């Protein structure tokens, strides 16, 4: 095809993928280098200057309400390999575990990242080190079988809490950090099933609980004000598959439902399980998603994080490349920054 867009049209390229069912759209071209001395400053710049691009790629007609994306930056540490910012339907994330797995897989399989088994990411939440497992095939057709990443220290922020949620009632919950803050709720306590047929109610209840908790208390990260907010609600309960130990359904951002078990979410769950003495160091905890896909989770050790006693989590999962896109944005397109129907 000889057609080319007009010179004043914006052109953005991406590689799309999914991690255990959850999408990741990685921007590979069409974005200038993002300024900032730190990754927090780069995130602040993106929020102020690149939000139109985020909406264009995340929202319809190019995306959907649950689309997730990322853009790579220069590293901001002396030993970092690459920086990364994550985006979704509401804004810019602080960290994303399924995104780390996807980007490592994309990067090593396509050559975007240096051909190495360990990749050090600078993220707004802190240093993440990803390890590619069982890479197979030739250099031209390398396949990453799975990726395990060491997350930032994770900790329980508030245990044994109760909140009165409109139309639901009194809800027991805990708050934990795993690269973002989450409110954890047992699904049976609010009468929801963690299955695809109940996804509308999961979103409705998850957002109601999130908003109620946000209205009732301040959440403060030990070191960084920009990380001090509640990202989502995670429902937990028994696994439906004999191959898993438990099930997670994460409702995050503006009502997005994570198709994977949620990498930062299971990191926070490990902190809860470890604090409750339900999990020993290096003992695998297999957590399944609403789809039945799984992450293998381990506590590598204990640590202190500010005034909190925390753990170092390791999360392992799989990702697959699903496509390569070249998007065009015409300046006279009335919905060039997209729209969302839920």
- Which residues are annotated as catalytic? 96
Burial zone of 48 (CB within 10 Å; 0-12 exposed, 13-18 middle, 19+ buried): exposed
The string of DSSP letters for 282-313 reads: T--EEEE-TTS-EEEEEEEEEEEETTEEEEEE
Find tokens 């070191």 and name the residue. Answer: 223
Q: What is the largest CA-CA distance in the chain?
A: 64
Find out whether 158 and 175 touch, Cβ atoms under 8 Å. Answer: yes
User: Which neighbouring-strand residues pair with 317?
Assistant: 147
Q: Tell me the two tokens of residue 228.
A: 């001090």
Find out whether 68 and 25 touch, Cβ atoms under 8 Å. Answer: yes
Q: Which SS3 state, helix, strand or coil, does residue 262 take? A: coil
The string of DSSP letters for 17-54 reads: EEETTEEEEEEEES-PPPP-SSHHHHHHHHHHHSHHHH
**13 phi/psi in degrees, rounded to 5:** -110, 150
Count the helix, strand and coil residues of the chain and give each as a percent rounded to the nearest 5: 20, 40, 40
Q: Which SS3 state, helix, strand or coil, does residue 243 take? A: coil
Burial zone of 33 (CB within 10 Å; 0-12 exposed, 13-18 middle, 19+ buried): exposed
Q: CB under 8 Å to 140, separation ≥6 — which residues?
A: none
Find out whether 13 and 29 touch, Cβ atoms under 8 Å. Answer: yes
């Amino acid at each position: 095809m000889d057609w080319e867009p007009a010179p004043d049209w914006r052109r953005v390229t991406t590689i799309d993928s999914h991690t255990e069912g959850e999408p990741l759209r990685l921007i590979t071209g069409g974005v200038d280098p993002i300024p900032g001395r730190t990754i927090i400053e780069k995130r602040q710049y993106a929020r102020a200057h690149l939000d139109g691009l985020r909406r264009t790629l995340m929202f319809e007609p190019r995306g959907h309400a649950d689309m997730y994306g990322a853009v790579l930056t220069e590293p901001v540490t002396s030993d970092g390999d690459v920086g990364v910012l994550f985006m979704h339907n509401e804004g810019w994330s602080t960290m994303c575990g399924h995104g780390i797995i996807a980007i490592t897989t994309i990067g090593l399989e396509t050559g975007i990242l240096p051909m190495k088994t360990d990749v050090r990411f600078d993220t707004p939440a802190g240093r993440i080190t990803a390890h590619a497992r069982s890479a197979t095939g030739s250099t031209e057709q390398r396949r990453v079988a799975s990726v395990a990443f060491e997350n930032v220290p994770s900790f329980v922020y508030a245990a044994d809490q109760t909140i009165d949620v409109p139309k639901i009632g009194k809800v027991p919950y805990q708050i934990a950090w795993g690269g973002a803050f989450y409110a954890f709720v047992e699904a049976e306590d609010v009468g929801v099933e963690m299955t695809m047929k109940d996804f509308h109610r999961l979103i409705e209840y998850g957002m109601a609980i999130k908003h109620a908790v946000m209205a009732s208390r301040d959440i403060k990260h030990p070191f960084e004000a920009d990380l001090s907010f509640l990202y989502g609600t995670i429902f937990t309960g028994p696994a439906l598959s004999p191959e898993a130990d438990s099930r997670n359904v994460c409702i995050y951002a503006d009502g997005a439902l994570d198709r994977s078990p949620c990498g930062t979410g299971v990191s926070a769950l490990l902190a809860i399980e470890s604090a409750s003495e339900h999990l020993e160091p290096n003992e695998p905890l297999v957590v399944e998603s609403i789809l039945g896909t799984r992450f293998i989770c381990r506590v590598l050790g204990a640590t202190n994080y500010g005034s909190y006693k925390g753990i170092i989590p390791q999360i392992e999962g799989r990702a697959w490349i699903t496509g390569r896109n070249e998007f065009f944005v015409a300046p006279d397109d009335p919905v060039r920054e997209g729209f969302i129907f839920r």
